A and B are shown apart, each in its own frame.
Chain A
């Protein structure tokens, strides 16, 4: 038997692959948002992890304070958090476009610390429980493994959202505006297109994606103020491996690295926490622009 040769049980292999795919779903959605924002705004959005956390926390607050359940959160929270992104971009980030990348990084990093600090102050660091919605409890026995419904749902939503976003950017007229403005915003503006408005909307959309990932994560991971800070470091590594600003690269690398991480957990668990960073180092040495990055 193959599995005897490998020294693992099929159950262990498939459940780690599933876990990898779940993590990959979050990596993909988060790095996709980062890639879109970096492409058009030239800002490395270090607030992304905090905005993901706001998505999860927003779901918890919505349930806790108003009684509105998961299905409301799925729509209301990304819109609300995305709107805070719009305000943030108009009020602060838009003042930095003429400066070096580093200033945007410092600003967004500072904002992340403030948001996390405020929530920690108010709610402490212990995780808040958030139940899996009734309709998605239970699971399917696939014979070789048990597939929890909620995890299948997360993977499906992530795939639909990621490839929907990819389609919008690569195949529609709106996406053509976005790609053109990423390449040469001055000329696109000189054609009569409102580029500043596009930039604001893009930041809002990227932030809403992070928040959506947060809502999806709430029932799986514990909801606490630092949940984004832990995850975002890995996501930045994913973005670097995929290539800054590449949409498809961000999606494929996100899912792919989730799976690689899962496999590592099966065959060499000690390395699972660092494997992504090892890959990042190798990619940076061999192909500094990233696997899907364009060298300019």
Chain B
């Protein structure tokens, strides 16, 4: 697997500005105010993680970027376009792919239908064959019936694989390693490294900061709905005590 995936290299240049710029983002679940003016930037081709305790607002940040939360305010600029007022289907069409924490595999669809479900949003998506190269397990499961019969790891691969088909060049991954066996975590990690090499821009929500430090360029610490710190990956080892304090481990 040395060839390059035909993915992110040709994204329009953003004139030096970050590809994704989140400013003063606020979000609500019903009455409860979850994000409080959260801000961060992601550069083209960068992999960043959102680290923080449970309930800090990491998953909510991804949902708010994607526009699938009840109410949001502030500014989310992607590739130079303000998306805060857009419906989520339009945000997806800009080339942002979302892989939800619960994986979102449809029980009433078979594996192939799940894989083919998201429409192409941009040219240059992976072919089905390339998805199978990344995740050989999926090929064997193609004939099997319901998507919900897959193992957790296979569901995660299907959830990532179907997004790679769409041509989205920015990926929002919500805890892709949660609850998976170490060998599967290895495979997902290798996949993310590969995608990074191929120029994908990735925002990763992780609890496991050892996994995060393996793949990411920078880490944003989220606390009570705000970004309170940014740690470049190179300083990860030096900042280990600080991170422990933030995460309460």
A interface vs B, CB < 8 Å?
173, 176-177, 179-180, 182-184, 186-195
A180-B117 contact given A186-B68, A190-B66, A191-B166, CB 8 Å threshold: yes
Contacts between the two chains (Cβ within 8 Å), count: 61
In the complex, are the beta carbons of A187 and B119 less than 8 A apart?
Answer: no
Residues of A contacting B121 in the complex (Cβ-Cβ under 8 angstroms): 192
In the complex, are the beta carbons of A190 and B113 less than 8 A apart?
Answer: no
B interface vs A, CB < 8 Å?
66-68, 87-93, 98, 100, 104, 106-109, 113, 116-119, 121, 166
Contact sample, A vs B, 25 pairs, CB 8 Å cutoff: A176-B109, A176-B116, A177-B117, A179-B109, A180-B108, A180-B109, A180-B113, A183-B106, A183-B107, A183-B108, A186-B68, A188-B117, A189-B88, A190-B68, A190-B89, A190-B92, A191-B89, A191-B92, A191-B119, A191-B166, A192-B92, A192-B93, A192-B166, A193-B89, A195-B89
Residues of B contacting A187 in the complex (Cβ-Cβ under 8 angstroms): 68, 98, 100, 104
Residues of B contacting A193 in the complex (Cβ-Cβ under 8 angstroms): 89, 118-119
Query: Which residue, A177, A180, A193, A195, has most C-beta atoms of chain B within 10 A?
Result: A180
Residues of A contacting B104 in the complex (Cβ-Cβ under 8 angstroms): 184, 187
In the complex, are the beta carbons of A191 and B117 less than 8 A apart?
Answer: yes
Least distance between A97 CB and chain B CB atoms (Å) = 13
In the complex, are the beta carbons of A192 and B116 less than 8 A apart?
Answer: no
Residues of A contacting B67 in the complex (Cβ-Cβ under 8 angstroms): 190
Residues of A contacting B107 in the complex (Cβ-Cβ under 8 angstroms): 183
Residues of A contacting B66 in the complex (Cβ-Cβ under 8 angstroms): 190
Interface pairs A-B: 6 shortest CB-CB: A192-B92, A191-B118, A176-B113, A179-B108, A190-B88, A187-B104
Least distance between B124 CB and chain A CB atoms (Å) = 15
In the complex, are the beta carbons of A192 and B117 less than 8 A apart?
Answer: no
18 more A-B contacts (CB under 8 A) besides A183-B108, A189-B92, A190-B89? A173-B113, A176-B109, A176-B113, A176-B117, A177-B117, A180-B113, A183-B106, A184-B106, A186-B68, A188-B117, A189-B68, A189-B89, A190-B68, A190-B91, A191-B92, A192-B89, A192-B166, A193-B89
Residues of B contacting A191 in the complex (Cβ-Cβ under 8 angstroms): 89, 92, 98, 117-119, 166
Least distance between A184 CB and chain B CB atoms (Å) = 6
Least distance between B173 CB and chain A CB atoms (Å) = 14
In the complex, are the beta carbons of A179 and B68 less than 8 A apart?
Answer: no
Least distance between B165 CB and chain A CB atoms (Å) = 11
